[in-house]
Amino acid sequence: MAHATYLLFLLAWALPILGLQWLVGWRKLWIWRRRWPWAVLLVGSYLTLTDSLAIAQHIWFFQPTLILGLTLGNVPLEEALFYFLTAAMIAQGYVLLLPSLTISSGSGTGSPPGPSSSGSHKRRGGQLRR
């Protein structure tokens, strides 16, 4: 169990927040499911890559007795998971704070606005009109 210490603390820290976000706002998170995971993937990957550089330069290290020993390159799995879970909490929190879409917004579908769904701009005679 000592090797799972970091993982256990990480899950105890992140899962209640993620669970609460889904409990409170599952509909909105589900509607935006094609958008926010990309932010999680991008941010988590970037932070894991920069962490890899820091580990390679011996800026910090991880106590082998506290981690599982599985790695992504030279980054412990728990550390990469930390970055992805943090990015998920932030991205989902952002989505939950976005104004809710309603039927009066024009779409009526509850789906996130796309590039052509605003409907407030029309092109006429080469000019953009509102």
Mean pLDDT of 91-107: 78
Mean pLDDT of 93-108: 74
Measured between alpha carbons, how far is 128 from 113 in angstroms, rounded to an integer? 19
Residue 123, pLDDT above cutoff 90: no
Cα dist. 98→30, 32, 40 in Å? Answer: 14, 11, 17
Q: Which two tokens stand for residue 3?
A: 């090797």
Q: How do residues 18-44 score in pLDDT, each as one tens digit?
A: 999 999 999 999 999 999 999 999 999
